[in-house]
């Protein structure tokens, strides 16, 4: 019933970037995610909403296999990125993460210069053949993150010296610099003030033209503002998935309605 291809005739199989099939996640004995099936579209912003501990961040971290870094985490089921299971043994998680970028809740710039922060990914993956190319990638990424004009004269200064909002956009630039196909954002605005939040939201709107964006958020207003598709998680289940407008105006599930009207959460 969450299959968007069936409900909206306009969407074709080609537009689907990520398909999750029966994804289950366990932390030790505790099950954090139960049988999640979802199709995430290309060049679309998909928002995951739900109360704390509902599994939305856990699912996000499955898509780029960041759960691999947690020893007790165990993932079952399939996640297909361009029809290839990311949990297939042939897939190198390191390569996968270059294709699926991630921005975290708290800005986490490296203790390096602004330039080196953005150049980190391209250097690791050998994306530039010479310094001029690398300069181009860095400038492009910083422009893409709407940060270029603010930092172009101080690229050698430490990235940790920027303001919170600038740091978060630096982290977005850092993720964009490896030219990913999907960008995962785990509550990217929860540590930012309203002005910085608005800047990041504008940026998300821009980024959507290039790739698929998946954003976890606690703010339903934010989900309504930035996303085209919304998925509501509750207690490890994907309760409802559909067009953002539909979810917020005429939810089908009573739990979704209770959450968006502020009765659970």
Partner 1 sequence: MTGIAFALLLTAALTGYMMNRRAALALRDGGQRLHSVGMFHGLYAVLAVVVPSVVVILLWLMLQAPVINAMVMSGLPAGTLDGLDSGARQLAQAEIQSIAGGRIFGSPESWKLDAAERLNSLRGLSGWLMVAVVALVVAAGLWLTRRSVAPQFRARQAVERIVLGLMIFCSVIAVFVTVGIVLSLVFESIRFFQMVPITEFLFGTRWEPQIPIRADQIAADGAFGWLPVLLGTLVITFVAIVISVPVGLMSAIYLNEFASPRFRAVAKPMLEILAGIPTVVYGFFAILTVAPAIRAWGAALGIPVAPNTALAAGGVMAIMLIPFISSFADDALSAVPRSLRDGSMALGATRSETMLKVLFPAAVPGIVGGVLLAISRAIGETMIVVMAAGLIAKMTINPLDSVTTVTVQIVTLLIGDTEFDSPKTLAAFALGLMLFILTLLINIVALRVVRKYRELYD
What mask of x and - would describe binding to partner 1 in positions 154 to 193, judged by CB under 8 A?
A: ----x-x----------x--xx--x---------------
The yes or no reply on residue 126 touching partner 1 (CB under 8 A) is no
User: What is the DSSP secondary structure assignment for residue 158, as one 8-state letter?
Assistant: B
Rounded to a whole number of angstroms, the minimum distance from the CB of residue 130 to partner 1 is 20
**Binding segment toward partner 1, per CB under 8 A, in 11-19, 98-106, 142-150, 234-242:** 98-106
The yes or no reply on residue 74 touching partner 1 (CB under 8 A) is no
**Binding segment toward partner 1, per CB under 8 A, in 39-47, 83-91, 96-104, 214-222:** 96-104
Tokens coding 100:
């699926």
Quick one: how far is CA 52 from the chain centroid? Answer: 17
What mask of x and - would describe binding to partner 1 in positions 197 to 236, judged by CB under 8 A?
A: ----------------------------------------
Contact predicate 122/177, CB 8 Å: yes
Out of 71, 126, 194, 262, point to the residue binding partner 1 (CB under 8 A): 71
Question: 162 phi and psi, to 5 degrees?
Answer: -80, 165
Structure-token match 């790739």, residue found: 211
Q: Is 111 or 262 the residue whose CB approaches partner 1 more closely? A: 111
- Give 66-106 as a 3 state SS string: HHHHCCCEEEEEEEEECCEECCCCCCCHHHHHHHEEEECCC
Contact predicate 151/108, CB 8 Å: no
Q: Is 16 or 40 the residue whose CB approaches partner 1 more closely? A: 40
Structure-token match 């999750």, residue found: 20
């Amino acid at each position: 019933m969450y299959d968007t291809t069936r409900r909206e005739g306009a969407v074709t199989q080609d537009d689907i970037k990520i398909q999750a099939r029966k994804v289950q996640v366990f932390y030790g004995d505790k099950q954090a995610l139960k049988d999640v099936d979802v199709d995430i579209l290309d060049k679309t912003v998909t928002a995951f909403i739900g109360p704390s501990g509902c599994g939305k961040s856990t699912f996000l971290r499955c898509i780029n296999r960041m759960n691999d870094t947690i020893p007790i985490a165990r993932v079952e089921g399939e996640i297909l990125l361009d029809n290839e299971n990311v949990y297939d043994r042939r897939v190198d998680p390191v390569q996968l993460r270059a294709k699926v970028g991630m921005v975290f809740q708290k800005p986490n710039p490296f203790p390096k210069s602004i330039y080196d922060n953005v150049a980190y990914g391209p250097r690791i993956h050998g994306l530039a053949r010479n310094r001029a190319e690398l300069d181009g990638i860095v400038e492009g990424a910083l422009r893409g993150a709407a940060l270029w004009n603010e930092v172009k004269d101080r690229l050698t200064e430490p990235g940790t010296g920027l303001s919170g909002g600038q740091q978060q956009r630096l982290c977005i630039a850092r993720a964009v610099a490896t030219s990913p196909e999907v960008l995962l954002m785990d509550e990217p605005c929860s540590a930012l003030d309203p002005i910085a939040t608005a800047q990041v939201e504008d940026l998300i709107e821009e980024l959507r033209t290039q790739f698929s964006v998946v954003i976890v958020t606690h703010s339903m207003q934010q989900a309504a503002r930035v996303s085209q598709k919304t998925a509501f998680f509750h207690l490890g289940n994907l309760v409802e998935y559909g067009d953002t407008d539909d979810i917020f105006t005429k939810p089908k599930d009573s739990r979704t309605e209770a959450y968006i009207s502020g009765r659970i959460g």
